[in-house]
Amino acid sequence: MGKKLVQHLQNEKYEIFLISRKDFQTGKLGDRIAGCSVVVNLIGDTIAGLWTTRKKEKIYDSRVLTSRRLVEAINLSGGNVKLLIQVSGASLYDDRHIHDESSLQYNGGFLKKVILDWEGELNKIESSTLRVVLLRLGIVLDKSGGILKQMLYPFRMGIGVGVKSDDYFPFIGLDDLMGIFVFCLENVELKGVVNVVAPEAVTIRNFYRELGRVKNRRIVIWLNDRLIRFILGESGSLLTSGQHVIPSKLLKEGFVFRYDNIKVALNRACN
């Protein structure tokens, strides 16, 4: 996501200064953001894979501790930073309600703690004039990375595999996500939590059906929740549980989604 965003913003004529994980470790974070009017925080270890104790520590620390250091650097920057955009996850929401940005119906378990603590670090920002935009992302559809790349493995081997779940699958096309970053930069009225998902609500089961059509593979193996959790443990919830999320703020502010339904989003992401 970071590389794609840098390229996109450069094409939009923004001047970019990169922050690396090393900058957080060497104490040079303040130097890196000096003179910058906008900071975009995308740092976070992938949540894919088995959630061992060590993996959970990496997921948590890569989000919460880095955000803490970033906020500390912003507080010491002398007020030059006017906008902070930070990504978060729509997986915070529970799987029983419909969620706009005002929803407080949250999921339980490990990801809830990670996301609430992660977002909570932003409450330590001292400037009252700094605009903060918190992007709660759905699943970003891009065949070159993220969860979609992993989902495509069996299809590349000629096997159609799906997940039997009627939970919802909040998604966002990569191109639309890039457009939303620019939209946040340019729309000064946009602040606080922003749900970054396409307007269409699709179930996990129907997502896999559409993925099979796009890849010209009939789904011949359907995996259920119990089997996935037996194999993957707690992290299996990433494949079997989902949220019904509405991008209310983006729609209200007039953002136009290019890939607003799963058919066009998957055609774009997979081809």
What region does 243 belong to: left with phi over 0, alpha with psi -120 to 50, or beta? beta
Identify each DSSP E strand in 178-270 by its residue range.
192-196, 219-223, 244-245
- Answer whether 270's CB lies under 8 Å from 143's CB: yes
- Better-scored residue on pLDDT, 37 or 145: 37
Residue 30 pLDDT: 85
- Angstrom distance (rounded) from CA 75 to CA 32: 14
Query: The CATH number of the domain where 175 resides is what?
Result: 3.40.50.720
pLDDT in tens, 229-269: 888 888 888 888 999 999 999 999 999 999 999 999 999 99
Percent of the chain's residues with pLDDT above 70: 100
- pLDDT tops 80 at residue 145: no
Residue 271 has a pLDDT of 82
**Cβ within 8 Å of residue 179, ≥6 positions away:** 255, 258
C-alpha 195/C-alpha 198 separation (Å) is: 9
Distance in angstroms (rounded) separating the CA atoms of residues 209 and 218? 8
Q: What is the mean pLDDT of residues 75-100?
A: 93
Distance from C-alpha of 177 to C-alpha of 137, rounded to nearest angstrom: 9
32: pLDDT strictly greater than 90: no
pLDDT value at position 152? 86
Number of domains observed in the structure of the chain: 1
Residue 58 and residue 60: Cα distance in Å, rounded? 5
pLDDT digits 0-9 by tens, 35-75: 899 999 998 888 888 899 999 999 999 999 999 999 999 99
pLDDT at 24: 79
Task: Tally Cβ neighbours within 10 Å of residue 118.
Answer: 27
Residue 118 to residues 8, 62, 234, 259, Cα–Cα distance (Å): 26, 10, 20, 29
> Please, which pLDDT band fits residue 124 given cuts at 50, 70 and 90?
very high
- 27 pLDDT more than 80: no
What pLDDT shows up at residue 47?
Answer: 87
What domain range includes position 239?
Answer: 2-270
Question: Residue 186 — very low, low, confident or very high, per pLDDT cuts 50/70/90?
Answer: very high
- pLDDT (average), residues 183-200: 96
The pLDDT of residue 149 is: 83
pLDDT at residue 25, rounded to an integer: 77
| pLDDT given for residue 193 in this prediction | 97
Mean pLDDT is highest, among 28-32, 144-148, 173-177, 235-239, for: 173-177
